[in-house]
Amino acid sequence: MAGRRPTTHGISRQAGGKAAAGDRHRPWHAARVWLDKSRIDAINSASNWVARVAQVLVRNLGDRVVAAFRRKAELHGNSLAQELRSALTAAARLTCEERVALARRVRALTPATVRQTDSTDLIRRDRDSR
């Protein structure tokens, strides 16, 4: 990239160690960091992947249910939102029976008449190729 000036990506510092005018409200932007376009794209794509969090709106939830979760949250020292996140996370885990049912469903996708390759042969071939 001859002739192109690298991007500072919002981080700058004037000569002599003074922060640029735009940095006075952002003291954590202390040092000049030069990033090229590919690094910026990599950082942006990584941060976009990590930052995505789903939001769910549950309608018509009974007052007793909400009150019960408020009590549980208070007992656990959590906010109502954190208590609901914990309950949903725990409920989302597959039980043993659900995992077995899922494995059977996947197995049913392959017809019984199709001959399967033994995995030991595949592993041996891969090791021998190195």
Query: E strands, the chain, where?
Result: none
Q: What is the pLDDT of residues 50-67, one digit of tens each?
A: 556 788 899 999 999 999
Mean pLDDT computed over 16-43: 53
CA angle 87, 93, 95 (to 5 degrees): 120
**What is the reported pTM?**
0.44
Chain Cα centroid distance, residue 42: 15
Percentage with pLDDT > 90 across the chain: 42
Position 112 confidence tier, pLDDT thresholds 50, 70, 90:
confident
Position 79 confidence tier, pLDDT thresholds 50, 70, 90:
very high
Q: How many CB atoms within 10 Å of residue 6?
A: 13
